[in-house]
Structure 1
Amino acid sequence: MHNYKKILLAAAATLAFATPAVAADKLKIGTEGAYPPFNLIDADGQVVGFDVEIAQALCAKLQAECEVVTSDWDGIIPALNARKFDFLVSSMSITEERQQAVDFTEPYYTNKLQFIAPKGRDLKADKAGLQGKVIGAQRATIAGTWLEDNLDGVVDIKLYDTQENAYLDLSSGRLDGVLADTFVNWEWLKSEVGQNFEFKGEPVLDNDKIGVAVRKGDPLREKLNAALKEMVADGTYQQINDKYFPFSIY
């Protein structure tokens, strides 16, 4: 999912003074809390979703007491490096830019990017079909960066602070389409308003690896890798996957 350009140098500047992970018996999990079905705040004010359940299962494997902390997406890496939490499980794409500021575990799922638009509208997901269209995406994400790298000057790009705000403008007719993670789009298309929209074309990117982020040099990374490997082997991962998706996203 999400991609950074502006804040990484500032975030990386603090890394030389970073210290190892906190004691493994009490950890804080960071997530956005605004990206269903992966992380969201439910009607009771609880942070829930696929990311959160993966994080809690990792904590169980580590025999650690864990607390979930939310952060705005734009500042989530600086928050990790400022020790607001100990590891970040928020559908974050592993990119070279981010690896300058944080370390990642092995991927815990593989993401795709795909366009959605109103049903029945002749919108082809190529440069000719998108020429002059108004396309939205969440700011500081892989989708937003893909639009800027591939369709700058072809479409009118609108970037939003949250994915939900992009969907709101799509449903109100202010956008011709949205580019976002396939599984997030899939979830929204099941909603009452989302039923009026559909996928357009094949995914434009289909091997986006999503990892858990920790501070640079933190030995917690290898503990999380071992816990993830165990979760996959013993079926814990599959149980969580099946609760959210009728297909494997690993």
Structure 2
Amino acid sequence: MKKWLLIAMLALSPFAVSARELKVGVQCTYPPFNFRDASGTLKGFEIDIARELGKRMKTEMNFVCMSFDGLIPALLSKKVDIVASSLSITELRKKSIDFSIPYRASTARFLAKKGAGLQPFKDGHTPNVAGLKGKVVGVQRSTTNDNYLTGEFPGVEIARYDSAENLLLDLVAQRIDLALVGPIKVEMDFLNKPEGKDYEFIGPELDAAKYFGDGVAVGLRKEDQALRGEINAGLQSMFDDGSFKAINQRYWSFSVLPAVWK
């Protein structure tokens, strides 16, 4: 009797078992999506989304900061359980990992100084490789933007950066002539600030599925299908009850969802 009473007491104890948790891979240097503020507190759109998912899944989300190009290797080696760091769904990535339903659109645009006279596209929005001859284009390495630039602008000199912040610093310092960037980030985090007043987007918004995929989503291992189902259900409930919209509006006045989910 005493033995069974002890077992029952342990089962009710908050310290009897560890709380369920997931290690979430994030870049932590990509405002407004995931970044540390001046006090070192982790913030951002994707941090808010992951925390809200954690509440719905009754799961503690523990964030692990690393470079963007280290996220998928960390996922595959089980150093993290999921990735929530502006990871676009692409055919190449789907060969090694799986994705949730998308929670953000994935597009790109060229950014240059006003009046620079650069023409990265011909009429009809076809790449104008000759128009960038002798110019240096900056891009964040191992991203969909990097893949697009490499695939569609062969022979153009590319400068690759470990972060969007370093990329923009070099653009302002005129070490590069233009940059290929994510417009949702740059609109808020650069163009709407004093340091971006002399810069503008040039050319069309790029959304070719071959490079940019079907949107941005949570990345996870292929074998974790039960977890994928939980994450999808959590995201869908956020879309349905308005909580996703509320998080979205903390950062932008427009919806960042892919068109299919709007």
Is TM > 0.5 for Structure 1 vs Structure 2?
Answer: yes
SS of 1:183's equivalent in the other structure is helix
Letter in 2 for 1:150: E
Q: CA deviation at 1:60?
A: 1.1
User: 1:214 aligned to 203, 217, 220, which one?
Assistant: 220
User: 1:110 aligned to 91, 101, 105, which one?
Assistant: 105
Q: Identity, % of aligned pairs?
A: 39
Alignment of 1:189-208 (within 5 A): 189-205=191-207, 208=212
| Structure 2 equivalent of residue 75 of structure 1 | 70
Larger radius of gyration: 2
Letter in 2 for 1:158: A
The alignment's C-alpha RMSD in Å is 1.6
Alignment of 1:156-175 (within 5 A): 156-175=157-176
Letter in 2 for 1:110: A
Alignment of 1:78-93 (within 5 A): 78-93=73-88
TM-score with structure 1 setting the length? 0.86
TM-score with structure 2 setting the length? 0.82
Relative to structure 1, is the Cα distance of residues 24 and 229 closer, same or farther in structure 2, using a 3 angstrom cutoff? Answer: farther
Q: CA deviation at 1:241?
A: 0.6
Q: How many residues align?
A: 227
| Structure 2 equivalent of residue 7 of structure 1 | none
1:44-94 alpha-carbon deviations (Å, 9 max, x no partner): 112211111111111111121222111111111111122222211000011
What is the distance in 1 between the residues matched to 2:21 and 2:149?
40
Which blocks of at least 5 consecutive residues in structure 1 are unaligned? 1-22
Which blocks of at least 5 consecutive residues in structure 2 are unaligned? 1-17, 122-127, 258-262
What is the distance in 2 between the residues matched to 1:77 and 1:95?
13
Relative to structure 1, is the Cα distance of residues 66 and 72 closer, same or farther in structure 2, using a 3 angstrom cutoff? Answer: same
| Structure 1 equivalent of residue 145 of structure 2 | 143
Letter in 2 for 1:146: Y
Q: CA deviation at 1:206?
A: 5.9
Alignment of 1:235-246 (within 5 A): 235-246=242-253
CA contact (8 A) 1:109 1:249 kept: yes
CA contact (8 A) 1:111 1:182 kept: no
| Structure 2 equivalent of residue 63 of structure 1 | 58
Letter in 1 for 2:168: Y
Letter in 2 for 1:211: A
What is the distance in 2 between the residues matched to 1:122 and 1:197?
12
What is the distance in 1 between the residues matched to 2:233 and 2:207?
28
What is the distance in 2 between the residues matched to 1:101 and 1:24?
29
